[in-house]
Amino acid sequence: MQVHTDLNKFKAHNPVVTIGVFDGVHRGHHRILSRLLEKAREVNGESVVITLWPHPRLVLKKDADKLLLLNSLDEKKILMEQKHIDHLVILPFNEEVSSMSACDFIEQILVNKIGVSNLLIGFDHHFGKGRQGGFDELKSCSLQYNFRVERMDAEKKSGVKISSTLIRNALLEGRLKEANEYLGYEYFLKGHVSGGHRIGKKIGFPTANIEVTDPYKLIPRDGVYAIRATVNGKWHKGMLNIGYRPTVDNHGHQKSIEAHLFDFEDDIYDKIITVHFVWRIRNEQKFSGVDELVEQLRKDKEHSRAILAALGH
């Protein structure tokens, strides 16, 4: 997959294009991307995904302080490459782009820069200033500029339209299984391992304290999770706690993300770790003391091992 940040240097044969934020690259997006690849084969062209970055809400200042993203830009690149897209165009979303009318965007970006031959859009896609450009306007422009446009139906599961908002809410409410089903993969986050208080090591459960570098990355609901994680390119099973450690930290002002990897003793301080959330075990809770906490951690570990084994991990 070629990644483009400069449209002045963009080249593709008979481009078949789709455009959007694609936060999560979820099952709804998979439907569009599968059709994109199929259409590219039909017309002997190349598949092109245009994604907007940074997120439009940051530029337009629409509740930007409440923005939570399912993917960082790097994560989005990984997921797009897994779908075997030919070209990923990262279109800088700025005031100039946000002020373009739908017609100007089509002419200046899609036609003059990309050379679109076919355009695929989602069922509710709108674009241009104020999101005024809809399917009817696209159809009109496609005749004017000699490209074809196709609108995809929504992807549904149990009658529910899959969306990034639906997945965000599921993760924030602790419905991990549901979120992963909508995503089509295990939700994951990446961070670097920082120095913690070493409390876990003292009680027989050493943990990697994870700091997520993207300030807008969505952190799932507090609680204990069965996880898979990659460090230095190797997979490990484990469990993870998100929360305030109420039993061992009386202050509890700062939320932590701590992973305990099974049968693992390497020093991974300052290493990059990627955590895949497999199953939500329980809520975070306060225990009467360290002994009760340790007993519960033993049960969590046994439960996590059983879950991971049952799911084939």
pLDDT computed for residue 58 by the predictor: 87
Comparing 122 with 115, the larger pLDDT belongs to: 115
pLDDT for 123 beyond 80: no
pLDDT for 56 beyond 90: no
Unique residue bearing structure tokens 């391992």 = 193
pLDDT for 174 beyond 90: yes
Beta partners for residue 3, in sequence order: 88
pLDDT > 70: what percent of the chain?
93
The domains found in the chain, sorted by start residue, are: 10-161 (3.40.50.620), 187-310 (2.40.30.30)
pLDDT computed for residue 27 by the predictor: 94
Nearest to 206 by CA among 279, 278, 270, 264: 264
Q: Residue 229 and residue 259: Cα distance in Å, rounded?
A: 9
Across the chain, what does the average pLDDT equal?
Answer: 90
Q: Residue 140 and residue 80: Cα distance in Å, rounded?
A: 30
pLDDT computed for residue 311 by the predictor: 92
Q: What is the mean pLDDT of residues 157-161?
A: 85
Question: Model confidence at 133, in pLDDT bands (50, 70, 90)?
Answer: low
Q: Residue 148 and residue 119: Cα distance in Å, rounded?
A: 6
Give this prediction's pTM.
0.91
Comparing 297 with 103, the larger pLDDT belongs to: 297
Strand 15-20 and strand 46-53: the pairing is: parallel
Interval 185-219: pLDDT, tens = 999 999 999 876 666 666 778 889 999 988 999 99
H or E, element range at 302: helix 290-310
H or E, element range at 167: helix 164-172
Q: Residue 39 and residue 292: Cα distance in Å, rounded?
A: 59
3-state SS, residue 162:
coil
C-alpha pair distances (Å), 105 with each of 6, 41, 52, 101, 206: 16, 26, 13, 6, 53
pLDDT computed for residue 180 by the predictor: 97
Nearest to 72 by CA among 214, 220, 167: 214
H or E, element range at 170: helix 164-172
Number of H helices, E strands in the chain: 10, 14
Interval 12-54: pLDDT, tens = 999 999 999 999 999 999 999 999 999 999 999 999 999 999 9
